Amino acid sequence: MEIYKYIKIDENSRIPKYQQIVDQIIENISKGNLKIDQKITSINRFSEEFYLSRDTVEKAYSILKERKIITSIKGKGFYVTRTKLISKVNILFLINKLSWYKMETYYSFLNSMGPNSFVDLHIYHCDESLFLNLLSKHKKAFDYYVIMPHFKTKDNQHASTTVAVSEAISKIPKNKLIIMDNGKVPMDDNIITVYEDYENDIYNALNEGLEKISKYKKLILIYPQKTIYPYPKRIKHGFKKFCIEHNFEFDVLDKVYNDMVLIKGDLFITIEEDDLVHLIDQIREKEFTLGNDMGVISYNDTPLKALLGITVISTNFKKMGEITSQMILNKEKGKVKVPFKFINRNSL
């Protein structure tokens, strides 16, 4: 078989021989020397050709099978099963919803990982069953599993995890697991965790903007109680903590209602884009001056909010992706909190 002229085992290398086999088969698939569905030599023949123990070759083939790079067909032998995932680092990336800021994190992560990686993106829509199915389908196939854990309960409340999710995540080897965005999944510190601290983030960001916020009489948080993609209650807790500490009158509403009663001196903090748009439309219709008569702060920055001059409190989503990728590339472990900032613009 042609495989023999491509494989070279270095007797003097400190890399284990089984790993040399794995790396060289992957490299030759990447180069196109081995094609998808191409048959490769048997374990016995390989060990004879390279004067290796059968156990060494069997271990290499077992790793390649776990990663779904090769497959065995009873009575026929071993075959190459995939080519697109062959790279130095293969990553499964699971996010809970499709949004501009989630995708900014993803693209930042992708760019920072560089060309020697393959990142397979899947969206599980905060659904426990879909998440578990995706994880089960792709178990043992990837070098790393990046997970943004946000789930919804039966009554559409936010949950950082569930019993079934925690059990499934615990089966991922610690050196392959990365928790991103939500640090409230109970795991030990010997993994990569790059997270937002929802309660303290909003509390600290509002404190950054206290001087501007102080001119308003009442603060109103628009926090959706039941939505397709529920938000952590810690956002609401941080908001209330800020208001109580600084003696602000405050309220929490679940949405921006039609014909909302707007009073001069109100400051609204919106989370969802639809509520932001609906609110600004009503402010304009009632001829209030945004940033003077009435204030608006939006949660999570986007280019459009920057263009329209909307004040925001926001995670640095680009930084989240960069930090995570660098920790993978540098083989670091531990918890890192992502910067969260108050960005003042014309709406305050």
Which pLDDT score is estimated for 166?
93
Closest CA to 149 of 196, 96, 99: 96
Q: What whole-number distance in Å separates Cα of residue 194 and Cα of residue 181?
A: 6
> Is residue 237 within 8 Å of 271, Cβ to Cβ?
no
The DSSP output letter for 209 is T
**Record: fold of 89-196+317-337:** Rossmann fold (3.40.50)
What is the rounded average pLDDT for all residues in the chain? 91
H/E stretch holding 178 reads strand 177-182
Task: Provide Rg for the chain, Cα atoms.
Answer: 26
Considering the domain delimited by 3-80, tell me its CATH architecture.
Orthogonal Bundle (1.10)
The pLDDT tens digits for 167-201 are: 999 999 899 999 999 988 887 778 999 999 999 99
What are the residue ranges spanned by the domains of the chain?
Answer: 3-80, 89-196+317-337, 199-314
The pLDDT tens digits for 96-115 are: 999 999 999 999 999 999 88
Class of domain 199-314 as given by CATH? alpha beta
Which pLDDT score is estimated for 69?
85
The pLDDT tens digits for 148-165 are: 999 999 888 999 999 999
Q: Which residues of 11-37 are buried (b: 16+ CB within 10 A; e: fewer)?
A: eeeeeebbebbbebbbebbeeebbeee
pLDDT < 70 stretches in the chain = 1-2, 82-88
Backbone phi, psi, residue 230, to 5°? -65, 155
Q: What whole-number distance in Å separates Cα of residue 226 and Cα of residue 347?
A: 27
Q: What whole-number distance in Å separates Cα of residue 199 and Cα of residue 237?
A: 6
Asked if domains 89-196+317-337 and 199-314 share a fold, the reply is yes
User: How much of the chain is helix, strand and coil, in % rounded to 5?
Assistant: 40, 20, 40
Report pTM.
Answer: 0.78
